[in-house]
Amino acid sequence: MSDGCPCGLSRPYAACCGRFLSGAQPAPTAEALMRSRYTAYVLGDAGYLLATWHPSTRPGRLDLDPEPRPRWVGLKVLRHAQEDDSHASVEFVARYKIGGRGYRLHEASRFVREAGIWYYLDGAIKGD
CATH number of the 13-60+68-125 domain: 3.10.450.50
Q: How many helices (H) and strands (E) does the chain have?
A: 3, 4
- Alpha-carbon distance of 109 to 19, in angstroms, equals 22
pLDDT in tens, 43-56: 999 999 999 999 99
- d(CA 126, CA 107) in angstroms, rounded, equals 5
Work out the average pLDDT over 88-103.
96
Could you tell me the residue ranges of all domains in the chain?
13-60+68-125
Contact by Cβ (8 Å): 116, 57:
no
Q: Report the distance separating Cα 49 and Cα 82, nearest Å.
A: 21
The yes-or-no verdict on residue 128 having pLDDT over 70 is no
Residue 37 CB contacts under 8 Å (≥ 6 apart), including other chains: 48, 49, 52, 120
Integer Cα distance of 81 and 48 in angstroms: 23
> Which has the closest alpha carbon to 46: 29, 66, 76, 24?
66
Q: Which residue has the higher pLDDT, 119 or 4?
A: 119
Q: What is the mean pLDDT of residues 94-113?
A: 96
pLDDT-derived band at 124, boundaries 50, 70, 90? very high
Q: How many beta carbons lie within 10 A of that of residue 44, not counting itself?
A: 13
pLDDT tens-digit series, residues 12-30: 999 999 999 999 999 999 9
Q: Say how far apart CA 123 and CA 39 lie, in whole Å.
A: 17
